[in-house]
Amino acid sequence: MTQHFPDNFLWGTATASYQIEGASDVDGRGVSIWDTFSKTPGKVVNGDTGDVACDHYNRFAEDIEIMKDLGVKAYRFSIAWPRLFPAGDDVREERGFAFYNRLIDALIAADIEPMVTLYHWDLPQALEDKGGWANRSIVDAFAKYAKACAEAFGDRVSNWITLNEPWCVSWLGYSNGVHAPGKKDFSLAIAAAHHTALSHAAASRAIKSVRPSAQVGITLNMTNNNIEDHNDPEVLAFAQLSDENLNRWWIDAFLTGKYPQNLLDTYGDLQKDVIKAGDADLLKVQTDFLGINYYADGFVRSARPEDKPYIEGGFMPFPQRVDTSAPADLANSLTAMGWVVTPHGLGNLVTRVHKTWPEIPYLMITENGSSYEDVVLNGEINDVERTDYLNRHLESLQKAVADGVPVKGYFAWSLLDNFEWAEGYAKRFGIVYVDYQTLKRTPKSSAKRFKEIVSTNGL
Ligand code: NOJ
């Protein structure tokens, strides 16, 4: 039986500026925190940087041709803040604006709808020097930047994502330090979590002030925590805290202006003075859609003797002792990232989100995809596992949509192999292979399969 998606389902591919653009010191671009971080020895595998990446800055016309051939209707990309405002202040770099104008115009000419992410992790270094997302002054700076983007591009761009994965920005950037700026301090992470939520609201209002009909959302990395031991209070407490910390924080903020009280109690003194009187009014904002990035489910079960209180790992300030390792039956088919493959999780997640927050008008899968070690054979890449991952996740999504969950689009991560943050170029997520020596692009089998799915609007 053919499984179809609704008419007008928005099929797309996704990328992010620092991961693909390269041209890091061209046309007046300022330094971002990822330039600094990737050039700090020991932070990124093989010392890789985004200096050249896929050279999309110079090759975007070719990349649009590839998308045209795939038949996708939309392209999600991000704007590099330091290209437009190199020092993160009010001083504009017109060559940066000109680049995104060229890109947007070329997309429209190819009949591909641009979907813009304003922040996909490349903060101007000058702002980080003032404390970055942990300093409340970022909220105003981000709203001004968002407004400038809406003014410049909003005549042609109607879909906006304020921030990509603010959980990663906050917790990977400021708590366990595996991402830029590499700080390790729970209270900075909590401050960043609050300031990203305030920034989403402030930027949404700023965009709407100049483009009232724009669709504005936020993209969160979400998952399901599968509880394996329902009788263990530590497991239940941990699962609830993780859900609040990862999934609910930003959603509750824009819907209600408040954060989960249980989580605030756990943060205790760590969050003292961060949230100010009156912030509830600032946090609450009309959000037109929720973008979801989904990769894999999580698991939590009773602690093994070797499991220490979670807080001791220095990542989350949670005192529980639990085991979050991959279940045995999934552990032998991990992706190259070491992530489990749980396709039913995508359908379960969107169903749960819609049930829990029916007031969110619609959802978009803004990222989903997998990393595997690709083999080039006679110039072809037969990525069976990635293709299988794609098929199975879309089957799961289609069922949920057919059951009435309002998901309006799906963006494959990623159009191209690219700079996978702390993993550098060692991990490939593209449906199109990139030879980093020659920068030649070759669509993999998964791209051919995606093309088929897009053209038939089904599986
Ligand atoms: C989510 C991030 O938004 C993206 O930048 C990253 O490459 C993928 N996950 C894969 O890890």
Chain segment 263-318, per-residue pLDDT in tens? 999 999 999 999 999 999 999 999 999 999 999 999 999 999 999 999 999 999 99
Query: What was the pLDDT predicted at 2?
Result: 73
Q: Using the mean position of ligand 1's atoms as its centre, give its distance from the Cα of residue 326 in Å.
A: 20
- Integer angstrom CA distances of residue 115 from 10, 16, 94, 197, 214: 11, 11, 21, 21, 11
Taking CA atoms only, the protein residue closest to ligand 1 atom 11 is 420
Q: Using the mean position of ligand 1's atoms as its centre, give its distance from the Cα of residue 306 in Å.
A: 31
Catalytic residue among 128, 165, 244, 420: 165
Other Cβ atoms within 10 Å of 42 Cβ, number: 7
Query: What was the pLDDT predicted at 1?
Result: 56
- Integer angstrom CA distances of residue 396 from 1, 3, 24, 402: 14, 10, 39, 10
Ligand 1 atom nearest to CA at 420:
7
User: Is 306 noted as a catalytic residue in this protein?
Assistant: no
Taking only the tens place, the pLDDT of each residue in 97-151 is 999 999 999 999 999 999 999 999 999 999 999 999 999 999 999 999 999 999 9
Ligand 1 atom nearest to CA at 413:
8
Taking only the tens place, the pLDDT of each residue in 390-419 is 999 999 999 999 999 999 999 999 999 999
Taking CA atoms only, the protein residue closest to ligand 1 atom 5 is 16
CA–CA distance, 358 with 213 (Å, rounded to integer): 22
Go through the domains of the chain in sequence order and give each one's CATH number. Answer: 10-456 (3.20.20.80)
Query: What was the pLDDT predicted at 6?
Result: 98
Average pLDDT (330-355) is 98
Q: Using the mean position of ligand 1's atoms as its centre, give its distance from the Cα of residue 20 in Å.
A: 12
Other Cβ atoms within 10 Å of 131 Cβ, number: 17
Taking CA atoms only, the protein residue closest to ligand 1 atom 7 is 420
Q: Rg of the chain's alpha carbons, rounded to an integer?
A: 21
Query: What was the pLDDT predicted at 220?
Result: 99
Handedness of CA 175, 179, 180, 182 (dihedral sign): positive
Torsion on CA atoms 55, 60, 65, 66, rounded to nearest 10: 40
Catalytic residue among 128, 234, 367, 423: 367
Ligand 1 atom nearest to CA at 414:
7
Taking only the tens place, the pLDDT of each residue in 148-207 is 999 999 999 999 999 999 999 999 999 999 999 999 999 999 999 999 999 999 999 999
Give percent above pLDDT 70 in the chain: 100
CA–CA distance, 164 with 36 (Å, rounded to integer): 20
439 class by beta-carbon count within 10 Å (0-12 exposed, 13-18 middle, 19+ buried): middle
Query: What was the pLDDT predicted at 414?
Result: 98
User: Is 452 noted as a catalytic residue in this protein?
Assistant: no
Average pLDDT (425-444) is 98
Q: Using the mean position of ligand 1's atoms as its centre, give its distance from the Cα of residue 144 in Å.
A: 26
Q: Using the mean position of ligand 1's atoms as its centre, give its distance from the Cα of residue 370 in Å.
A: 10
- Ligand 1, residues 420, 423, 425: which to mutate, most atoms within 8 A of Cβ? 420
Taking only the tens place, the pLDDT of each residue in 39-84 is 999 999 999 999 999 999 999 999 999 999 999 999 999 999 999 9
Chain centroid to Cα 414, Å, comes to: 11
Pocket of ligand 1 (CB under 6 A): 16, 19, 164-165, 293, 367, 413, 420, 429
Q: Using the mean position of ligand 1's atoms as its centre, give its distance from the Cα of residue 116 in Å.
A: 16
CA–CA distance, 121 with 167 (Å, rounded to integer): 11
Query: What was the pLDDT predicted at 10?
Result: 98
